[in-house]
A and B are shown apart, each in its own frame.
Chain A
Amino acid sequence: MIKEEGHIGLLEATVLVYAILSAKLFMQAPGFLIEAGGPAAWQAALVMTAAGLLLLLPVGALARRFPGQGLPQIAEAVGGPVLGSLFSLYVLAWLFATTANSLRNFTEVYIGTILPNTPPSVLTFVALFCMAYGSYRGLESVGRATQVLLPVILAGIVLVLVFSMPRLQLSRLYPFWGHGLVYTVSGGAYNAGLLAEAIVVLILAYSLRDAKNVRKAGMLGVALFGLLSALTCAVLVMIFGAPDAAQQPFPLFNLSQLVYLGRFMQRTEALIVMFWFFNVAVRLIVLFHALVVTLTGMLRLPYHRPVIFPMAVLLFSTSLLPEDTLVVLRIMRDWLTPSGLGILFVPFLLLALALIRGKGVQSHAA
């Protein structure tokens, strides 16, 4: 058990899950959904959310069976040292790849939009500093800071969508069924892998005072993200049209550049980009912390702080490996998203094993 200082409540956990996911809206997640659903991308987003919520249902049951424990401990308790470690290793490897990719994606987004001349290593270093410092301070500090930042994080998306309303063209949401219902549903389900970071709620379950809140936090965070994704996709399609929106690596940035409400309300992206930075920072910090905590749990270390620096160095090197932006995008779309689906199955498999083997609190009670 990790000696993590402090606890987080339902609201903080929900906000953390939402913030981890919502940072993807500034990046390529809307593009993936629009590619899958065409004009019906909002439907694909809803399918994605429904699939994600369904796959996350076992998280609550697991947390209740193993109160005060995180994913590595649960996996070991359920699967034993070999199978349990394999589960944890899969989650660890995926989290590592996702965090490294997100770190690089963050630098690519900022270089591609507002800081073209800044060396990627400088941006990576700044982000890593935030990640390491956040993890060092612990989840409670990060949770509270995120709760305070929530209005800003929400404003980063909601304001852009609201300011874009004069440009909406409803007819671009047609043909209503996009590329066909089968295509939309399969595309939406495939992109449920975009929600895999919600597994963090199980990794950090030990920090929540009440085990019942683990499921609630996961569900609420994913549902809020799903609704905003559907809305974002609909707005992007209504403004850019599906073929154009699917080809934009930073569609929400482009949308913020379009804000043109008379002579006095223009160039809002300067402000919006700052809001986005908070969101991306929270995402990276929490992913990093979850990664560190998973490794700490697997190694049965009592404290996570000694792992921070080596992990930061590893991430720094790995994030610089992809040759160009396209490689970063392809890794996300073709590797991390489908393998993220596998991550969402981990709680389900662990619960099934726990039930079969009679592990956890309920079996003792029985």
Chain B
Amino acid sequence: MRRRRLAAFLLVLMLAFPLAGCWDRSELEEEAFVLAIGVDKGKQSLYTVSFAIAHPSRLAGGGKGGGGGGGGGDEKPLVLTSVEAPTVAGAISMANSYLSRRVSLRHTKALFMGEELARQSGMFTMDEFVRFRQARRTIFYIVTKGKAADFLEKMKPTLEKDPQRYIEQMTYSVRHTGMVPAASQIQQYVTLVNTGYAQPITYYAALHEEGEEQSGKGTTQTEGYKAGELPRKGGANVDLLGGAAFRNEKMVGVLTGEDMRMILMLQDKFRRGIVSIPDPSKPDLFVSLEIHQGRPLRIDANLSGPKPRIHATVTLEGELLTVQSNADYTEPELQTKLEQATVGALEQRMRSLISKTQQWDTDVIGFGQEVVKQFPTVEAWERYRWQDWYKTAEISADVRFTLRRFGKQLSPPRPREQ
């Protein structure tokens, strides 16, 4: 009995040690949580690394004010600091020498990389995020037009107070617009670069400069813009639209929202989105349709000829949203005409996209993921060198479109005398 009591006492005594905390305890008040990192080409060192650090009391509202403006008045919810260093880890170490709290990447949600650096390199920094314990592979990888540091400094979210939530929310737009990549986390980027079955696409973001003349091409469509070129006013000063196309670790081009939508259709990841096409009855006016996927994508790859031949069949369905010409598309003949016009417009956009990616020599669409299925072994696939063939491959796309619904109105409202 005595021995048992002694054993129980010793056990309780032993439990007391871990209760006091362990070597890896961390107090919230001692950590500076980095919500976003910006990486640019450095002047004195390899990189300029910017940390957007959460200011917890300002993010929480602090009890002052209300609404979207936030409780802290003009106080920003983020503290921004930049430091020149050869690596991100080195930058963290340097930042720790002048910040009172320890820099932590445990809550980092986004990595912003300046376009200049993304076009020159990219994989060097990615290794840090894959290897470093604190970083997660779910961090969003976003290329910014211009410097990432400027982007982080000037970014002013609206509707969302928390910039982290704002970015996360923006990425969800793929579900209803299809104008950003289906996913752009470090995980996808690294895996695509490693396997080589397809090339990576990341989010592309730009600051919208108010009052400045936009460099858009004056397109009459709603989707053919790059980030930063939208003809708009007000709202948040950030455009997250289109994508950055990579070839291996280097960025090679900027994709428009329209390009992204075509890519999603050809990747079998398109959910739904609104397209505007010239009205077949009156080409100077427009028809808007909400389209969504009808059937799974079909891709046929034929490697027997002198060049690889790939044919994609995209099946879509749609609902009529707007008819400016007052044409009655519920009439079978006109319905067929509209369906054909939609098919023609989409096929033309797909051809343009495919040609663009072939010029860039990068299979961002991911046809390689179908081509690889024709090879029995890894060695045979690697000998084939798909990346070298992509530029010259004969790639075609065939769209099948059925207008399923006509909205809440059948024939359009029109003046009595018509």
Inside 8 A of B22's CB, which chain A residues have their CB? Answer: 115, 118
Inside 8 A of A240's CB, which chain B residues have their CB? Answer: 187, 191, 194
Minimal Cβ-Cβ distance residue in A for B192: A241
A200 to B379, CA, bound (A): 39
A174 to chain B, nearest CB (A): 5
Question: Residue-by-residue, is A173-189 near B (CB-CB < 8 Å gives 1, otherwise 0)?
Answer: 01111111000000000
Q: Within 8 Å of chain A (Cβ to Cβ): is B16?
A: no
User: When the two chains form the complex, which single residue of A113, A115, A174 contacts B23, counting CB atoms closer than 8 Å?
Assistant: A115
Judging by beta carbons under 8 Å apart, are B133 and A116 in contact? yes
Judging by beta carbons under 8 Å apart, are A175 and B133 in contact? no
Question: Residue-by-residue, is B176-191 near A (CB-CB < 8 Å gives 1, otherwise 0)?
Answer: 0000000001010011
Stretch at the interface among B115-123, B284-292, B365-373: B365-373
Judging by beta carbons under 8 Å apart, are A171 and B197 in contact? yes
Q: Within 8 Å of chain B (Cβ to Cβ): is A263?
A: yes
Judging by beta carbons under 8 Å apart, are B133 and A258 in contact? no
Judging by beta carbons under 8 Å apart, are B377 and A257 in contact? no
A241 to B23, CA, bound (A): 35
Q: Within 8 Å of chain A (Cβ to Cβ): is B60?
A: no
User: When the two chains form the complex, which single residue of B191, B376, B377 contacts A244, counting CB atoms closer than 8 Å?
Assistant: B191
Tell whether A244 pairs with B23 under 8 Å between CB atoms, given A174-B373, A257-B137.
no
A20 to chain B, nearest CB (A): 27
A177 to B373, CA, bound (A): 10
Inside 8 A of A239's CB, which chain B residues have their CB? Answer: 187, 191
Judging by beta carbons under 8 Å apart, are B376 and A115 in contact? no
Question: Residue-by-residue, is B118-136 near A (CB-CB < 8 Å gives 1, otherwise 0)?
Answer: 0000000000000001001
A112 to B24, CA, bound (A): 12
Q: Within 8 Å of chain A (Cβ to Cβ): is B168?
A: yes
Inside 8 A of B165's CB, which chain A residues have their CB? Answer: 263
Judging by beta carbons under 8 Å apart, are A118 and B23 in contact? yes
Q: Within 8 Å of chain A (Cβ to Cβ): is B138?
A: yes
Tell whether A119 pairs with B379 under 8 Å between CB atoms, given A171-B373, A243-B194, A257-B136.
no
Inside 8 A of B376's CB, which chain A residues have their CB? Answer: 175-177, 180
User: When the two chains form the complex, which single residue of A38, A172, A266 contacts B197, counting CB atoms closer than 8 Å?
Assistant: A172
Q: Within 8 Å of chain A (Cβ to Cβ): is B375?
A: yes
A341 to chain B, nearest CB (A): 25
A263 to B171, CA, bound (A): 12
Chain A, 6-24, CB within 8 A of any chain B CB: none
A258 to B138, CA, bound (A): 6
A260 to B172, CA, bound (A): 13
A117 to B26, CA, bound (A): 11
Inside 8 A of B381's CB, which chain A residues have their CB? Answer: 175
Chain B, 186-222, CB within 8 A of any chain A CB: 187, 190-191, 194-195, 197
A263 to B107, CA, bound (A): 13
Inside 8 A of A176's CB, which chain B residues have their CB? Answer: 373, 376
A170 to B373, CA, bound (A): 10
Interface size of B in residues (CB-CB distance below 8 Å): 27
User: When the two chains form the complex, which single residue of A113, A180, A260 contacts B379, counting CB atoms closer than 8 Å?
Assistant: A180
Judging by beta carbons under 8 Å apart, are B380 and A175 in contact? yes
A47 to chain B, nearest CB (A): 16
Inside 8 A of B24's CB, which chain A residues have their CB? Answer: 114-118
A279 to chain B, nearest CB (A): 21
Question: Residue-by-residue, is B1-37 near A (CB-CB < 8 Å gives 1, otherwise 0)?
Answer: 0000000000000000000001110000000000000
Judging by beta carbons under 8 Å apart, are B378 and A112 in contact? no
Q: Within 8 Å of chain B (Cβ to Cβ): is A254?
A: yes
Inside 8 A of B138's CB, which chain A residues have their CB? Answer: 257-258, 260, 266
Inside 8 A of B375's CB, which chain A residues have their CB? Answer: 174-175
Minimal Cβ-Cβ distance residue in B for A269: B136
A188 to B377, CA, bound (A): 16
Q: Within 8 Å of chain B (Cβ to Cβ): is A79?
A: no
Interface size of A in residues (CB-CB distance below 8 Å): 34
Inside 8 A of A241's CB, which chain B residues have their CB? Answer: 191, 194-195, 197
Minimal Cβ-Cβ distance residue in A for B381: A175
A187 to chain B, nearest CB (A): 13
Judging by beta carbons under 8 Å apart, are A171 and B372 in contact? yes
Judging by beta carbons under 8 Å apart, are A258 and B137 in contact? yes
B224 to chain A, nearest CB (A): 29
Judging by beta carbons under 8 Å apart, are B23 and A171 in contact? no
Q: Within 8 Å of chain B (Cβ to Cβ): is A45?
A: no
Judging by beta carbons under 8 Å apart, are A175 and B195 in contact? no
A300 to chain B, nearest CB (A): 29
B137 to chain A, nearest CB (A): 6
Inside 8 A of A242's CB, which chain B residues have their CB? Answer: 195, 378
Chain B, 147-194, CB within 8 A of any chain A CB: 165, 168, 185, 187, 190-191, 194
A113 to B167, CA, bound (A): 27
Chain A, 156-201, CB within 8 A of any chain B CB: 167, 169, 171-172, 174-180
Judging by beta carbons under 8 Å apart, are B137 and A38 in contact? no
Question: Residue-by-residue, is A104-130 near B (CB-CB < 8 Å gives 1, otherwise 0)?
Answer: 000000001111111100100000000
Judging by beta carbons under 8 Å apart, are A258 and B187 in contact? yes
Q: Within 8 Å of chain B (Cβ to Cβ): is A143?
A: no
Judging by beta carbons under 8 Å apart, are A179 and B369 in contact? no
User: When the two chains form the complex, which single residue of B194, B373, B379 contacts A179, counting CB atoms closer than 8 Å?
Assistant: B379
Inside 8 A of A243's CB, which chain B residues have their CB? Answer: 194-195
Inside 8 A of A175's CB, which chain B residues have their CB? Answer: 372-373, 375-378, 380-381
Minimal Cβ-Cβ distance residue in A for B165: A263
Inside 8 A of B372's CB, which chain A residues have their CB? Answer: 171, 174-175
Inside 8 A of A244's CB, which chain B residues have their CB? Answer: 190-191, 194-195
A113 to B137, CA, bound (A): 14
A39 to B23, CA, bound (A): 40
Inside 8 A of B168's CB, which chain A residues have their CB? Answer: 263
A355 to chain B, nearest CB (A): 42
User: When the two chains form the complex, which single residue of B185, B369, B379, B380 contacts A171, counting CB atoms closer than 8 Å?
Assistant: B369
Inside 8 A of B136's CB, which chain A residues have their CB? Answer: 257-258
Tell whether A179 pairs with B378 under 8 Å between CB atoms, given A171-B369, A174-B373, A240-B191.
yes
Inside 8 A of A260's CB, which chain B residues have their CB? Answer: 138, 185
A118 to B21, CA, bound (A): 11
Inside 8 A of A119's CB, which chain B residues have their CB? Answer: 23
A239 to B378, CA, bound (A): 17
A221 to B187, CA, bound (A): 33
Minimal Cβ-Cβ distance residue in A for B18: A126
Question: Residue-by-residue, is B354-387 near A (CB-CB < 8 Å gives 1, otherwise 0)?
Answer: 0000000000000001101101111111000000
Q: Can you offer 5 A-B residue contacts whose CB atoms are under 8 A?
A: A174-B375, A175-B377, A179-B379, A244-B190, A254-B137
Inter-chain pairs besides A117-B23, A174-B372, 5 sampled, C-beta below 8 Å: A119-B23, A174-B373, A178-B377, A240-B194, A257-B136
On A, residues with C-beta under 8 Å from B are 38-39, 112-119, 122, 167, 169, 171-172, 174-180, 239-244, 254, 257-258, 260, 263, 266
Sorted nearest first, the 3 A-B pairs with minimum C-beta distance are A241-B195, A171-B369, A117-B23
